[in-house]
Amino acid sequence: MAESTDTLKDLQVRLRNSDEDTAKDILSALKPLSITFEQLKETKIGKTVKRIEKKFPSLKLQTRELIEKWKNVVHAKKKAAPQPAHIERHRDQVVTMLTEVLGDRDIAFQIEEELNSSVDRAGYAAKARSLKFNLSKNPDLKLSVQEGRISPQDLVRMNPRDMATEETKEERKKLESSLKDSYRSDWQLANNVQKSGMFKCGKCKSDKTIMSQMQTRSADEPMTTFVKCLDCDHSWKF
């Protein structure tokens, strides 16, 4: 008979906050319990045990025994509801692909399990490729997954913008800001009272220009001036 989920969650909370001796006792208490696939998925206790392994290396033997036992529960669940052979092969390929990137088959397996259960078949391959690409390109993201700071569940829910490197995110912000300024400049030039001929175009040297001003910074700073050349459409601001 399976242990109650409430009891399992109570042990999990105690394990998270335990010292080494208490953790050893709780791991021993977990060993004989019959835990179902559904309970493993709901509580994510496997993740908690892996963190204890990193926190207390002397308990590695106990934690490994539990992880292996629970992996067998997951494998048994898969066998009970077999998928077509070509899908199973594809899933195995994704696990192998993610293992090559992360260097940890257990984490790769957990990510694929979440991917398979939460993404429809039509989007599965594209999401798997996106995960591989972003984990390969973003060392910080990869390390966060390896160290358990980003769970497999959270990783699969992330979109490409979330998984991008900080440099890419900063470049994207600059591009969005530039586009916003461009749109604002065009709107200002089209809708505000404009003065013409005050500036010479630095690109084509024409003096057929129009300008407008807008308060884009704090009130105690000068207004931003937007200028557009009527001959070559070159725009600038200062």
Q: Write the pLDDT tens digit of every residue in 204-236.
A: 888 877 777 776 666 566 777 888 887 777 888
Number of Cβ within 10 Å of residue 32's Cβ equals 7
What pairs with residue 227 in β-bridges?
A: 211, 236
Mean pLDDT of all residues belonging to the chain: 82
Task: Tell which residue, 85, 9, 86, has the closest CA to residue 40.
Answer: 9
Report the distance separating Cα 207 and Cα 53, nearest Å. Answer: 72
What pairs with residue 209 in β-bridges?
A: 229
pLDDT bracket for residue 4 (50, 70, 90): confident
- What class does CATH assign to 1-82? mainly alpha
pLDDT score for 1: 45
| Six token digits for residue 176 | 């969005």
- Residue 171, amino acid: E
pLDDT score for 74: 79
Task: Tell which residue, 113, 102, 169, has the closest CA to residue 139.
Answer: 102
Q: How would you classify the pairing of strands 195-196 and 224-229?
A: unpaired
Instruction: Give 172 or 130, the one with higher predicted confidence.
Output: 130
pLDDT score for 222: 74
Burial (CB < 10 A; 0-12, 13-18, 19+), residue 15, is: buried
pTM: 0.45
Number of Cβ within 10 Å of residue 213's Cβ equals 17
Instruction: Give 17 or 85, the one with higher predicted confidence.
Output: 17
Q: Alpha helix locations (H) across 84-191?
A: 85-102, 105-118, 121-137, 139-146, 152-157, 160-163, 166-191
Q: Write the pLDDT tens digit of every residue in 18-28.
A: 999 999 999 99
pLDDT score for 118: 79
Q: Write the pLDDT tens digit of every residue in 153-196.
A: 889 988 888 888 888 777 777 766 666 666 555 555 555 545 55
pLDDT bracket for residue 90 (50, 70, 90): confident
pLDDT score for 100: 94
Query: What are the residue boundaries of the structural domains of the chain, listed by start?
Result: 1-82, 84-164, 181-237
pLDDT score for 129: 92
| Coil vs helix vs strand at 228 | strand
Fold of 181-237: N-terminal domain of TfIIb (2.20.25)
